[in-house]
């Protein structure tokens, strides 16, 4: 089956198992028989027990998962997306902007989608010039944003 990878390509193809949802959404641990990178961000994975194209097509469109304890430890200046989503975003001056509700992956850098009061959305480039600290223990992301970035998406 073809898989779009959200994260580190090289780590993904080394997992011995994947969590695959059945038609009711219940996750099952499935053993990986073989995996290879097709191109950056894409892999071809063969699961044990999936022996033909029809069986593989039955899984089409489903997300597959790994448990967080299977993930390698991130570098000191890195975090996993699941650690960032829901994190409170605060300016250096202490103003709470909202929470990280999503992450957009781009070729240059990630962008944090910060959802604030009244449905306000702020797009924050995830670069060290703007994101000054991420504390996964306290669940706080500190930012120092240039003038105008907050109001950029206001109508």
High-pLDDT (> 90) share of the chain, %: 39
CATH code 2.30.30.240 for 81-153 = yes
Q: What is the mean pLDDT of residues 109-117?
A: 93
pLDDT digits (tens, 9 = 90+) for 42-89: 888 899 988 888 888 888 888 888 888 878 788 887 888 889 999 999
- Tell me: pLDDT of 6 over 80: no
- Cα separation of 2 and 21, whole Å? 15
- Cα separation of 38 and 88, whole Å? 36
How much is the pLDDT for 89?
A: 97
pTM of the entire predicted model: 0.71
User: Which strands sit side by side in the sheet containing 88-91, from one edge to the other?
Assistant: 121-125, 111-115, 96-104, 88-91, 140-143, 131-135
What is the DSSP code (8-state) at residue 6?
Answer: S
* Alpha-carbon Rg for the chain in angstroms: 19
The superfamily in CATH containing domain 2-70 is RimM (2.40.30.60)
What is the residue-averaged pLDDT of the chain?
88
- Residue span(s) of the chain under CATH 2.30.30.240 come to 81-153
């Amino acid at each position: 089956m073809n898989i779009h990878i959200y994260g580190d390509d090289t780590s993904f193809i080394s997992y011995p198992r994947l969590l695959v949802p059945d038609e009711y959404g219940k996750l099952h641990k499935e053993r990986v028989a073989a995996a290879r990178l097709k191109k950056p961000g894409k892999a071809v994975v063969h699961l044990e027990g999936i022996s033909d194209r029809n069986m593989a097509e039955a899984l089409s469109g489903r997300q597959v998962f790994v448990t967080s304890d299977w993930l390698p430890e991130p570098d000191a200046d890195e975090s996993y997306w699941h650690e960032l989503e829901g994190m409170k975003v605060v300016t250096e001056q202490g103003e709470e902007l909202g929470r990280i509700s999503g992450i957009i992956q781009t070729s240059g850098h990630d962008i944090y989608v910060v959802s604030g009061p009244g449905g306000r959305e702020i797009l924050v480039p995830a670069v060290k010039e703007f994101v000054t600290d991420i504390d996964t223990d306290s669940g706080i992301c500190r930012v120092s944003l240039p003038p105008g970035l907050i109001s950029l998406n206001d109508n």
